[in-house]
Structure 1
């Protein structure tokens, strides 16, 4: 027997997956039709006085509403607004169910647009819901709060994930850094209502079996529903649930992207007639649910920190498209910096970029059969369409960037052997900046570059470019300053051997220790400037990464050795689906093997006045080719490095990592997620994931005097901890969690459903490392972002 009278609030919705069940366009069109069906169902119910007048439908994501409003007639729009006002249609300020790739600025613009649109219709949007996804970033919390959203209803699916706070069906207040609070109700799986039996199905689904077992004796629908509800509520009472209400979501059928089902309201009425004295079922919109509980949960606890996403690892199943997306995102914001009043950018290109950046960051990725049937045409179609969102965002921003550069003088040519360039500091910060431009030419022996403002001749370096020659130099820029430089072809510098000094032999090999050329003989073993020294040895790998400013050895031995790629493999012993399902929240099997790159060759690529570049070649299991290219600037506390890989095809469970651990710094580690800054393992809601994190830009090691910034431009996923199968510790906010090893998790295929298995391909994944004076974490990340945009250069006409 239950120990209280209960009210169960029923929220009918369709979990929005842009993919997974069908082609993306089909799904979007279906959701438009679902809204029309729900409106017409309730409208007809009012006309006839039937039970359908009490039918309620919740639009889980605003994206579907946005598409509906584009397609709807004026009459359909007015009917929709009327049904929102009558509480037959519920709205949610959740634009889509995202992962942490989502761009905070764009999401905030779109959320504000929604709130203002409905305000103009006399409707206040104060609530949001999501389903399935396993996280919401601190940046998204700010988006909600900045746009007047007061309540978030979450329905986490614990497949390879988990709800926060060690228990679901739990209200709490989520506080941001400014002290603003969002009421959150952390609910059950979004198909709980289907598992209970709110929608009759003679074939038991796996959730019903998980929750209530398999009863061979068939009962009438309403009686079975009562038994299941009583069983579930008894469990809630026994586990300390203290309220007399509980929510459950339900879909029209037990599936994602499911249609509205008017039978649910009839089932509710039949149930209440039979058992309503003890348990009352009430169909509600999201706003109604919030209104009914907000005064009853004022004693809910308050938490700060990130609701880290368990499903973030899925994005690394498409590493090449994610790299493309990240560049599209940077290009979008670079356009904003160069055209801050929006006078040059075409608005339709801006909107196209925003639409597609949002769509790519939506959580679904591929078809449900991506792993167990990768040959299927629909699987291929969904994968290509998903990638197209990143590409269309890239294309739209590239179009605007071309227009902006042209408006600022770009002559749209790169063939001049003598001419002028314009260099624009895209940063809000002054400082020494690297300036680079290329000339499409077969041969260019030397160059002379003069700053027109100062008359100073720049120290330059020529290096190889895929289309000719790259010219590099360093100059000081004020914030957003632009400079013009003249360049002209010059004679090359022939190296003449000084035969009077013992530093080189007749075979032109510089292998003698000497003071005449104290650098060249060391390059096969180390590179060095005033800030760093990196040593390496074939057969041993990187042996030192010394910080000359702080006088500490930063290289950690073992798995986390910087500049050293790692491959991890779990062989398939069952089948490609089952082996992955068994992982749970681990990302490798118990029998996983780890392979650390074996350094087999060192090549000096460039050694000049501006920088030195070396390439470290590794033999690494799972790859046809694997190398790390390191560019060290002679006069800057800056490194650029990239991992080049030719990945083999395999159906095994695989991961590629590049360690980013720095040792002995006595530093606090920070990352940025959706433009919010946090200390992983510490600044999180208790009970959340701390295995891995999806970042905006990268990570910083903040020490007392100096801070090291590591920007991961192309590979945003970070793994923390040991590279072995282990019991999963949920976040307990201890300081020691922040001291774990850090890896760039470049690619993986750990999922058994909608994330890709095929990791094969060619790519380079780029990183930068800067050493700066410590200020605060926000300033450091702003510096990192500014450095990422760099100096924009192009040839201009001579005048």
Structure 2
């Protein structure tokens, strides 16, 4: 006797979803002769041979049927015929109705004379565009090298699949959308030119579609220039082969950053097909997502837009919506399920109930929105019900057979572009438009790789600096184009790290293939971050040497350095300069002179770290004021009489730091900053009744278990806080050091909070700045225990105006967002600002991009808040976590510093965005000491300024050198209205043109008498100007 299974099936079993879909399709039930009968009106229509159409009613009676008698309620006969249906059932064909018509159905094979009533309803004349693709995870299902190798085989097979279906009707010819342009790049670089030419010919024929985005990314983690650089390979294909790519795809990741529409529009991309996988981690229906149509226009703040189609997990498992209907299996499976799906789509907001859909969170929720309104549908189909699946002919075979059977729905194999052209022609003037950020529900996972993420962010900043310094060099007569030519590979490394696959399907594993190759995949992923970091630093080093070769030291000095500012505003900051022992012996004292007036700059010295294995020398640290925008100030190193003064310790009030602007009190008992007083106004800037103090460490543990695939996707939270196993703040700290030197006042304390081996905090109050610089060094062990750590920044504001830098734009209080965006957390680029009344505060986070404002959410859907009080003026920097149970690392150990700067200002003299960008530059774009390597001169330039902008809300993201004799100025506006911004070069320019970030030039700009040109900046947007020297 067979025994039952050990357990019931999981609610993630897709067969459950299919059964529910069948049940939802039932229009009427009855009992005829003791036999239960179910009747389902189907959206299937067949030509009747006389110019009309017949529509289908599916009859489920437990066995095939041969006869049916159909009459109206008044007794009039209705034509009917029976044909075989799916799985031994029967279909009854009746004339198409254009209004609801109740009829009586007699099935003599079951019970002569007995009838069941069913309401015949008008059916849509559907057109279905089936877009076959493979969802590219670079990793996850196999080690990355295996995934890429199999992907090359897939593209090989496309040519054969096209060839073997050439003689078919157009609708059933094999077609394929290459979801990620990187797949084509990787394949074409490893295939002979004649094979690539064949492939491109199929692209021109409309049989293969190339799409614009190279990867599926967490776009919020890209830098603004990196986001634009993603489209460079598509631009190059267009220029080289004349192939116009109009469509982008974004798959899996549920959200895209606000700057993406501008980036796509810049490169001529009109359409965006997205498939948001909820994976149990996204609940957009809790944040207005039910109001977001599947076809709409997404507009950037500056006005440009793309036409968007979005799949939806409730509409069929995101990009696997076709597979759950059987398109990767057989015609018979589609014949069974597709009619029910279309019936549900026409009558309900979500065709599927939830159970059986892997990744559908909060499974017992009901949805009561409007059904899908249009008759044309985009449906993604895969060769296999899996990620990284192969192309197959089964879909094209199904389409051919289907269209031979039915007039409607009309199926066709399509490209994304085919669907968009069709939909736009039918409904383009009736579509809604939405604006703003479309935040990423999955981006919390990046906190599982805190250290390589920080390295990538350092690399992004260094790459912008490297190209900018190379631009300075080009302007001054050195060759700078080589740096820009080398930059794409560094951008590529950063983007490969930002690509959404961060680990194996089971990331805690140590195998060599399949989902169980977690550790191996993480090594590959981590290497991309290190490559981005190291190669960017290398380019910056080379660009500095090139610039230094055009700069002269003053005769009679030991060395000369040009302290270089790569930002678009004058800066007064601390400079850190390395003085080699080969230049000045370590024991010889030196002085640092400001070449502008010969004044001595007070400095302090730091010894070389790891000195047995690094360049011999020392670091000189000093404060330099008013370094011109995109310019430099020369400092001279000359012999000194005595070493610099030793740092002064402070015995009175050792836990207090003070400068011209701020008085900072550290509470060692709580291991946080308890008070910051603005000395100009006497105002307390830290909220005194906040849950914790400024820079407080908060550590959470969660009552779930690691090492179980997708467990975090199946776990739901509520207000009971049952999943918050523990929450602790730091214990009392020991004072380690307290001193004052040439750069400012510094205090160091240390403690050992939960989740760490130790936490050492360096609080630095620089001279002449209303700013606090923080270095939080965490040493933590690895653990599978679910955990998160935060640093808190509570400001004394009750209802502040919040602004956050996002890639290519800005988000914050009152700014539009796309309905369904994540609201409990997000990843920021560099800064968050708060403004209330006349007080402005900004927090710059150099290493950790994840933030939550106003509270801390329990990190399981639907993300209930967990603090005892709301704190709208408190920022929580989410330093690390290991919440996910797939795709992201399950544990991490590190000894790493997380750097923050906190600045204060006063309105109207400054605004939140201006203070934010200035604060962020302290750590991400520091003043650079470039050694003057040219011939000595008796009177070299003491300073120079190469470029300035007129509006403080506009920043220069960076310069590039697209070709010798050209400098491209990349601009970004944080103004919430259009701006006419004057750009004033400090060098001769023969021509200035508008341009985009990739150097495509536009209109000629007419310079003013002073050489300045004016460029129109869109609202919260990006533009560029191309200058010819």
With normalisation by structure 1, the TM-score equals 0.86
Consecutive unaligned residues of structure 1, counting only runs of 5 or more, are: 202-218, 412-416, 497-516
In structure 1, the partner of 2:191 is 72
Q: Does 1:107 align with 2:227?
A: yes
For 2:305 and 2:277, the matched residues in 1 are separated by 24
Secondary structure, aligned partner of 1:339: helix
For 1:708 and 1:410, the matched residues in 2 are separated by 40
Secondary structure, aligned partner of 1:71: coil
Return 599-608 or 441-450, whichever deviates more.
441-450
In structure 2, the partner of 1:435 is 575
| 1:413-467 alpha-carbon deviations (Å, 9 max, x no partner) | xxxx964433222222113222222446797696422223321111223356525
CA separation of 1:706 and 1:487: change in aligned 2, threshold 3 A: farther
Secondary structure, aligned partner of 1:391: helix
Q: Does 1:478 align with 2:628?
A: yes
| 1:270-295 alpha-carbon deviations (Å, 9 max, x no partner) | 23333x23422222101101111013
Cα displacement (A) at 1:738 = 10
Cα displacement (A) at 1:772 = 4.4
CA separation of 1:226 and 1:174: change in aligned 2, threshold 3 A: closer
For 1:772 and 1:591, the matched residues in 2 are separated by 37
Cα displacement (A) at 1:741 = 3.2
Q: How does 1:596-615 map to 2 (within 5 A)?
A: 596-615=729-748
Q: How does 1:46-445 map to 2 (within 5 A)?
A: 46=166, 49=168, 54-99=173-218, 100-118=220-238, 120-159=240-279, 160-163=281-284, 165-167=288-290, 170-188=294-312, 189-200=318-329, 220-226=332-338, 228-230=340-342, 232-236=344-348, 239-274=370-405, 276-297=406-427, 298-340=429-471, 341=474, 343=480, 345-346=482-483, 349-371=486-508, 378-409=517-548, 419-439=559-579
In structure 2, the partner of 1:205 is none
| 1:725-767 alpha-carbon deviations (Å, 9 max, x no partner) | 3996799xxxx99936321111100000010122211100111
In structure 2, the partner of 1:208 is none
Secondary structure, aligned partner of 2:458: helix
For 1:24 and 1:777, the matched residues in 2 are separated by 42
In structure 2, the partner of 1:508 is none
CA separation of 1:76 and 1:222: change in aligned 2, threshold 3 A: same
In structure 1, the partner of 2:601 is 458
CA separation of 1:66 and 1:589: change in aligned 2, threshold 3 A: farther
Cα displacement (A) at 1:323 = 1.0
For 1:27 and 1:389, the matched residues in 2 are separated by 16
With normalisation by structure 2, the TM-score equals 0.68
Structure number having the greater helix percentage: 1
Alignment check: 8 A CA contact 2:295 2:310 kept: yes
Secondary structure, aligned partner of 2:734: strand
| 1:389-433 alpha-carbon deviations (Å, 9 max, x no partner) | 11112222222222222223389xxxxx96443322222211322
Computing the radius of gyration from Cα coordinates, the structure with the larger value is 2
Cα displacement (A) at 1:659 = 1.0
For 1:372 and 1:600, the matched residues in 2 are separated by 37
Cα displacement (A) at 1:315 = 1.0
CA separation of 1:261 and 1:612: change in aligned 2, threshold 3 A: same
In structure 1, the partner of 2:849 is 716
Alignment check: 8 A CA contact 2:844 2:919 kept: yes
Q: Does 1:764 align with 2:897?
A: yes
Cα displacement (A) at 1:710 = 1.9
Alignment check: 8 A CA contact 1:193 1:251 kept: yes
Cα displacement (A) at 1:593 = 1.1
Cα displacement (A) at 1:690 = 1.0
In structure 1, the partner of 2:139 is 19
Q: How does 1:559-638 map to 2 (within 5 A)?
A: 559-572=691-704, 576-577=708-709, 579-584=711-716, 590-638=723-771
Secondary structure, aligned partner of 1:138: coil
For 2:266 and 2:249, the matched residues in 1 are separated by 17
Cα displacement (A) at 1:229 = 3.1
Alignment check: 8 A CA contact 1:586 1:726 kept: no
Return 252-261 or 115-124, whichever deviates more.
115-124
Secondary structure, aligned partner of 2:676: strand
CA separation of 1:640 and 1:305: change in aligned 2, threshold 3 A: same
For 1:598 and 1:730, the matched residues in 2 are separated by 28
Count of residues paired in the alignment: 751
In structure 1, the partner of 2:929 is 793
For 2:651 and 2:274, the matched residues in 1 are separated by 61
Cα displacement (A) at 1:605 = 4.1
For 2:790 and 2:623, the matched residues in 1 are separated by 32
Secondary structure, aligned partner of 2:398: helix
In structure 2, the partner of 1:449 is 592
Cα displacement (A) at 1:112 = 4.4
- CA-based RMSD of the aligned residues comes to 3.3
Alignment check: 8 A CA contact 2:752 2:759 kept: yes
CA separation of 1:125 and 1:784: change in aligned 2, threshold 3 A: farther
For 1:628 and 1:374, the matched residues in 2 are separated by 39
Secondary structure, aligned partner of 2:328: coil
Cα displacement (A) at 1:126 = 1.7
CA separation of 1:78 and 1:777: change in aligned 2, threshold 3 A: farther
For 2:283 and 2:568, the matched residues in 1 are separated by 41
Return 430-439 or 390-399, whichever deviates more.
430-439
* Highest RCO, 1 vs 2 (Cα 8 Å, sep ≥ 6): 1
| 1:95-146 alpha-carbon deviations (Å, 9 max, x no partner) | 2111021233233234144145235534322221211111111112210122
For 2:623 and 2:190, the matched residues in 1 are separated by 53
Alignment check: 8 A CA contact 2:797 2:873 kept: no
Secondary structure, aligned partner of 2:226: helix
Alignment check: 8 A CA contact 1:134 1:157 kept: yes
For 1:771 and 1:283, the matched residues in 2 are separated by 58
Cα displacement (A) at 1:713 = 0.8
Structure number having the greater strand percentage: 2
In structure 2, the partner of 1:783 is 918
For 1:222 and 1:127, the matched residues in 2 are separated by 28
CA separation of 1:397 and 1:88: change in aligned 2, threshold 3 A: same
Secondary structure, aligned partner of 1:615: strand
